[in-house]
Amino acid sequence: MKLGTHGAIQPGPPDGSCEQPGPLGPSQQNGAVPGEQGKQEKSVKRGNWGNQIEFVLTSVGYAVGLGNVWRFPYLCYRNGGGAFMFPYFIMLVFCGIPLFFMELSFGQFASQGCLGVWRVSPMFKGVGYGMMVVSTYIGIYYNVVICIAFYYFFVSMTHVLPWTYCSNPWNTPDCVGVLDGNLSNRATLNFTQLLNTTQKRTSPSEEYWRRYVLNLSDDIGNLGEVRLPLLGCLGVSWVVVFLCLIKGVKSSGKVVYFTATFPYVVLTILFVRGITLEGALTGIMYYLTPQWDKILNAKVWGDAASQIFYSLGCAWGGLITMASYNKFNNNCYRDSIIISITNCATSVYAGFVIFSILGFMANHLGVDVSKVADHGPGLAFVAYPEALTLLPISPLWSILFFFMLILLGLGTQFCLLETLVTAIVDEVGNEWIIRKKTFVTLGVAVAGFLLGVPLTTQAGIYWLLLMDNYAASFSLVVISCIMCVAIMYIYGHRNYFKDIEMMLGFPPPLFFQICWRFISPAIIFFILVFTVIQYRPISYNDYVYPTWAISIGFLMALSSVICIPIYAIYKVCRSEGDTLLERLKNATKASKDWGPALPEHRSGRYAPAFSPSTESHLEVQPLQPEKGQSEAAAASPVQGSNGSAHSQDSRL
């Protein structure tokens, strides 16, 4: 707390520390006063984005990830082609954009990460811990995928791609390469097609992936040896992520100018090349042709909702974290619409790129597009690399494709790591850890690398898919649902709408108010029910996961959700009150320090307890009157450049 020029107590820094008045900031030196446009909006201690473009690009890089390339196109053709677009965009409007806007506004209003924002209702802070657990799991295995993309990127720098022919030591007699032995005429392709009917054809790209890159073991429990090339690439990917985040958002905000935009350049280059290939139109038509009979299938709607939810990165904690570095009055409503639509448009665009190439490949092999279409790692590291071998100057296209995957992955990984670091720094909150934030980032990166080492073993891909399917699936839905309920019904929708009006200058549109209160929670609940009903035990090609491995998967999923009830019970037990009801009320009531982080933004119900009308009647009586008078004479006011007076002796 500080003493003002008239002896009234005025609010000090939001963290409660007492600081001497520093040099006048730019907004004070040019005569601006609190309440005007020129007031200081940046958090000097915590940091802010350099400008709004950095935030938008970072959020686009976070939302647009590998799933846009290897999951959406597959879901689209599996669920009715063009007909899938209808439920997809409905889910975007009624669930995706509203949830995106909610998380951005939540983090921006409080200028806190996924833990600090729960001052709004302390009992639900377990939701923030759950977000941290989910981001930890995703951050571990996501960087392993990036490291595999790094590996393919490096080995593509050659005259002939190593997965072009079947004449390598790792190939089996079942390997049938499209380019082996000049197999380019239609008669030979018919022989290849005949071969497919009698035995399972294995392509050189598939054998390179399974037998050389992974050297895949026969069971998830048989870890085997660490694949040293992958371990080296994992180290490279973590070093890149750390260097880009070494100064927090100040450094990552500059890197995203490249990492968030260049994938679109590569996608466009691959698209232009793809549509000029023979059979490309067949692949695109297969991708887009509507099958309207499937639109009444609940599974199609469930897949659309899940894809929107997962693709936008809701409930990961990253959106709250990125928005917390915004200026208080930034128009996050506009940003949420721009970023959400950009993400979904990227998915659709990537589908054209992928299926133009797959159509060409199907035409070359003489098979249906469905025979070469795949999703997940199978598309990125088997089907697409094989298609690249059919193109002239194939190493060039391979380098471009895997460079695009690296950049798409890094954009998401930056935010995952920053989410964890910000949560730790905000939670501890002292000056030392704020100054040493770089070392916190280093510690998290080193821990992520060590935890990712088992995923580079011969059984690593089994563990990676297990984490992908369980660690960040239904737990995200539960976390998001509880977040909606806590904000809308515990904190109160009227309070939250007033907060947004205070921050943006206008309340959220009526459509968003209805979605937040009713429609979005209903859709989230539908996703949860759909996930449970449609549950199938995980498998990888012909390998079926054992029961003990699936049990570990469920434990990973529960480890994030269980944080919510555990912390709620702890908070209720620690709250004041004689009865359980009183404890519940105190545990869910917003903290006194909830609200805007900077004092100049704390107006209205967040204003200091002493109003101007009471300040005139407030006197601070010194313990020794005669000593107080002499000190008051010595502590003469100092006139500021904007005409305001500052007392030199401003400490209590």
What whole-number distance in Å separates Cα of residue 366 and Cα of residue 378?
20
Q: Which two tokens stand for residue 383?
A: 């089907």
CA-CA distances (angstroms) from residue 320 to 73, 131, 244? 28, 10, 20
Other Cβ atoms less than 10 A from the Cβ of 144: the count is 26
What whole-number distance in Å separates Cα of residue 518 and Cα of residue 210?
47
Whether 407 has a binding-site annotation, put simply, is no
Q: Which two tokens stand for residue 607?
A: 């204003």
Nearest partner of 32 among 613, 630, 547, 600, judged by Cα: 600
> CB of 370 within 8 A of CB of 93?
no
Q: Which two tokens stand for residue 474?
A: 């239904």
What whole-number distance in Å separates Cα of residue 106 and Cα of residue 95?
16
Whether 234 has a binding-site annotation, put simply, is no
N residues, the chain: 652
Tokens 């090339």 — which residue? 229
What whole-number distance in Å separates Cα of residue 440 and Cα of residue 442?
5
Q: Letter for the amino acid at 169?
A: P
Contacts of 559 (CB under 8 A, 6+ apart): 133
What whole-number distance in Å separates Cα of residue 416 and Cα of residue 271?
29
Interior angle at CA 260, CA 350 and CA 477, nearest 5: 70
What whole-number distance in Å separates Cα of residue 546 and Cα of residue 539?
9
Radius of gyration (C-alpha) of the chain in whole angstroms: 28
Contacts of 384 (CB under 8 A, 6+ apart): 354, 357, 358, 401
CA-CA distances (angstroms) from residue 360 to 70, 373, 445? 18, 12, 41
By the 10 Å C-beta count (0-12 exposed, 13-18 middle, 19+ buried), 379 is classed as buried
Contacts of 2 (CB under 8 A, 6+ apart): 9, 10, 11, 12, 18, 650, 651, 652
Whether 311 has a binding-site annotation, put simply, is yes
Other Cβ atoms less than 10 A from the Cβ of 175: the count is 21
Other Cβ atoms less than 10 A from the Cβ of 609: the count is 8
Whether 105 has a binding-site annotation, put simply, is no
Task: HSE, CB side, 13 Å, CA atoms: give it for residue 197.
Answer: 7
> CB of 300 within 8 A of CB of 87?
yes
Whether 61 has a binding-site annotation, put simply, is yes
Tokens 């915590």 — which residue? 46
**Which residues does the annotation place in the binding site?**
61, 63-64, 68, 311, 343, 408
**Which residues does the annotation place in the binding site for Na(+)?**
61, 63-64, 68, 311, 343, 408
